[in-house]
Amino acid sequence: MVLTLFLIITFTFFLVQAQPGDYASFYVLNPDLPPEVKDEIRAAFGLDKPAWQQYVIHLKNTFTGNLGVSFGNFPRPVLDVLAERVPRTLVLFLTATAVSFYIGFFLGKAIAWRRGGLFEYAATISGAMLFTAFTPAFALMMIWVFAFRLGWFPVGKFLDPLVWRGADVSANYVFGNMLLSAAAFITFALLVMLCLKRFGRRVPSVAAVPIVLGGALVIMAAWALSGIGGLALDIVKHMVLPVATLTLISFAGTMLLTRNSMLETIREDYVMAARAKGLPDKQVRDRHAARNAMLPIVTSLVYSLIFAIDGSVIIESVFSWPGTGLTLLQAVRSEDLPLVMGAMLFIGMLSLLAHVIVDVLYVYLDPRIRYQ
Amino acid sequence: MNTPGPVSPIPTPEFGVEPGRGRVRFVLVRLRLMWRSFRNGWGIFMESRMGRVSLFTIITFALMAAAHPILMAFVWDPATYDPVTGYSFDQVEQPAPPSWKHLLGTDPLGRDVLSQLLYSTRSEFVLGITAALVTVGIATFVGAVAAYYGRLVDSFFMRLADLIIALPAISLLIVLSALFHLNLFYLALIIGVLGGFGGTAIILKSQALSIKVKPFIEAARVAGGGHFHIIFVHIIPHLLPLALLYMMFTVTSAIFAEAVLSFLGLLDLRMSWGIMIHTANTGGYLLGGTRYWWLIVPAGASITLLCSAFYLAGRALDEVVNPRLRRRND
């Protein structure tokens, strides 16, 4: 894990070394500068030292959180820019992945169970189309239909300046609070589930629904009373369309895989045994078949997470959603090298995190796997 | 059929055949066997509807790609129809809707959309197939070597593959396009190398592992075959069907990556489907919706169609390579 992170940092460093030009060329290319000044600028960037020394300094700076100063957003350091952008990407990415994984798994389960119907045919074809659809064109189509024609959602961006004109709080403050309440809500929902499980089977699992909904209502009421609820609603409105698009393009992969995996599991003896015992159809499907079919899907969750990271880069650029992906793209276009490196580092860390999460899930799902 | 055993470097005089002629017969028999398995596989491939549809789509696109130079040489006037520098002088307003002269209309810069579409088809094929060949070449070799030698070689290549899978490819390509000038060839090479050392290598390695324990490998070793002889003559030919399958998937991802990057305007290409959408988008014609449909629908549909055709061809090939997936007549 740490080793991989180290390798990614090394890789990005040598990538910069290998390319024509260096950090200083952003300033040095100005023809009005005399050569002494150019040398001075290069020395200020530490480019007069040998490569290995530069590498050591680079490593030290990266691990102490000093990613340099962004050229494009000058005096702001890269870390500051990213600290603002990363949560926005995370929200987009996590919501879409969770929803698409759930929908994909649910649909895949259903179409494998009722094989050969019209529904399966339609789901497979549309899934394959969505999976291979050209993401930017698809995203633009979504904008055209839902934002332009129907006018349900805003066209893009993070917030609407007209709503925010008189606001005395910053967007980051509101967004931070939104994140906090979302985290609180998820923790609450998980706790409720856990408690119900602890109390055993006497309480039907449907009982969880009103409790969780009540929690959601309390949080919403708190927002409505706080006076900045309108601002939060504005951000949520801007979020719906990107999340929906990302969900639509990434659920198909999970769905097709679940279908294949389920088809193999259904042939197993224990499924037949469960049926022969007279268990209800739904229980056989969910407890016996789907649970075991889940392992290969979780393995491929890494791929679909990476797919979603790439997808979120594209979608951020189409929707002008100010997250890491858009930052990366803008930095690339304006040759803002420190910011490019920083954003790439964060995207790499995000995918590493995905790996770790999948590993943990794996242990939870398959009790036979143990890490020492 | 008397299939000759593996060729050993030691001549075998007791059969009374000099090595030269035996070699020819060996090759002939092998070719006949290959032809037969190819015919078998072809039958299974054509049986599935996915296979037929995808093959038809791919051939249509290949014909389109082949048609462009012919049309440019004999039918179309380069001054009007060149995909990059042409200009249609007939219309007052650009982009012009489809007409008999320009079957798919013209783009905001007055260039013929059909000509652009056909011209790009060729470069997509070149890109996809180059990337696929590079991927499969590297992945087959890495997979075979890693499975054959095991231990340190194996764990080195597998950790490398894990690392590459962990990198989001599109983001990495965006960064690379900032640092280097990416043209079609470099792009194909980079996608190929990433795929070849990445996921494809893992899959081919696991297949190679199951081949490595088969008796004929042991026989070849007993007959005195060297490491490289065994890897190249005995392991790699058995990997090729699976490698062909992953070629199809690589083509899909290569075309997709190219389209995304040129949509973002980061590539150094003359013309491609992604660039066509990029031109329409930066001109602000996309929110015109159906009014300017010819600017986005042909290119967008081509990307989706060709990508899904290669993907479906891969799925159909999967049924050929992987007998467990075949649908029984029940």
Question: What pLDDT sits at residue A200?
Answer: 60
| Residue B316 Cα, gap to closest chain A Cα (Å) | 14
User: Average of pLDDT values for A160-170?
Assistant: 70
Q: Quick one: pLDDT at residue B13? A: 47
CA–CA gap between residue A238 and residue A243 (Å, rounded):
9
Asked if pLDDT for residue B271 goes beyond 50, the answer is: yes
Average pLDDT over residues A108-133: 77
* Cβ atoms of residues A319 and A135 within 8 Å: no
Cβ count near A309 (within 10 Å): 24
Would you say residue B1 has pLDDT above 50? no
State mean pLDDT over B97-108: 80
- Residue of B266, B250, B265, B268 lying closest to B175 (CA atoms): B266
pLDDT of residue A189: 80
**Domain residue ranges in chain B:** 57-96+108-314
Chain B partners within 8 Å of A325 (Cβ): 171
B17 or A29: which leads in pLDDT: A29
Predicted confidence (pLDDT) per residue in A177-210, tens digit: 778 888 888 888 888 777 777 766 555 666 667 7
Residues of B whose CB is below 8 A from A331 = 178
pLDDT on residue A27: 67
A144/B171 touch (CB, cutoff 8 Å), yes or no: no
pLDDT average, residue stretch A122-146: 78
The per-residue pLDDT for range A72-110, each reduced to its tens digit, is: 666 777 777 777 788 888 888 888 888 888 888 888 888
Is the pLDDT at A161 greater than 60? The verdict is yes
CA dihedral over B175, A133, A248, B250, signed as positive or negative: negative
Reference A358, options A311, A297, A301, A296; nearest CA is A301
CB contact under 8 A, B176 and A328: no
Among residues B276, B260, B284, B282, the alpha carbon closest in space to that of A134 is found at B260
Name chain B contacts of A303, Cβ cutoff 8 Å.
165, 199
Whole-number pLDDT of residue A19:
66
Lowest mean pLDDT among A1-10, B153-162, B269-278: A1-10
Question: Inter-chain contact B166–A335, Cβ cutoff 8 Å?
Answer: no
Q: Do A310 and B303 touch (CB under 8 A)?
A: no
Under a CB-based contact definition with an 8 Å cutoff, are residues A90 and A316 in contact? no
pLDDT tens-place string over residues B35-90: 888 888 787 777 777 788 888 989 999 998 888 888 888 888 877 788 878 787 77
Helix pair angle (B236-263, B169-179), 10° resolution? 60
Mean pLDDT of A152-170: 72
Which of A143, A144, A309 lies nearest to residue B168, judging by beta carbons? A309
Q: Give dist(CA A21, CA A38) in Å, integer.
A: 13
For A303, phi then psi, to 5°, come to: -60, -40
Who wins on pLDDT, A2 or B12? Answer: A2
Please report which confidence band the pLDDT of residue A158 belongs to, taking 50, 70 and 90 as the band edges: confident
The full set of domain ranges for chain A reads: 2-63, 78-167+228-365
Contacts of B118 (CB under 8 A, 6+ apart): B64, B65, B67, B68, B71, B83
Q: Are A16 and B259 a contacting pair at CB < 8 A?
A: no
The answer, yes or no, to whether residue A315 has pLDDT greater than 80, is: yes
Q: Which residue of B lies nearest to A5 if distances are taken between CA atoms?
A: B163
What φ, ψ does residue A69 adopt, rounded to 5°? Answer: -110, 135
Position A369 scores a pLDDT of: 63
Instruction: Count Cβ atoms below 10 Å from residue B225 Cβ, excluding itself.
Output: 19
Mean pLDDT of chain A: 76
Asked if B165 and A129 come within 8 Å (Cβ–Cβ), the reply is no
Confidence of residue B2 (pLDDT cuts 50, 70, 90): very low
pLDDT tens digit sequence for A3-44: 777 777 777 777 776 666 666 666 666 777 777 777 777 777
The CA distance from A193 to the nearest CA of chain B, in Å, is 32
pLDDT category at A327 given cuts 50, 70, 90 is confident
Q: Which residues pair with A69 in a beta bridge?
A: A77
Containing B180, the helix (H) or strand (E) segment is none
Nearest to A7 among B163, B178, B277 (CB): B163
- The predicted structure's pLDDT at residue B329: 42
Provide the number of CB pairs (under 8 Å) joining chain A to chain B. 114
Q: What is the pLDDT of residues B150-159, one digit of tens each?
A: 788 888 888 8
ipTM metric: 0.72
What is d(CA A132, CA A134) in angstroms, rounded to the nearest whole number?
6
Residue B134's pLDDT is what?
92
Chain A residue whose CA is closest to B277: A137
Residue B53 pLDDT: 86
| CATH, domain range B57-96+108-314 | 1.10.3720.10
Confidence band (pLDDT; 50, 70, 90) for A254?
Answer: confident
pLDDT over 90 for what percent of chain B? 2
d(CA B89, CA B249): 42
Instruction: Tell me the CATH architecture of domain A78-167+228-365.
Output: Orthogonal Bundle (1.10)
Q: Decide: pTM greater than 0.80.
A: no
Structure tokens at B325: 């997936």
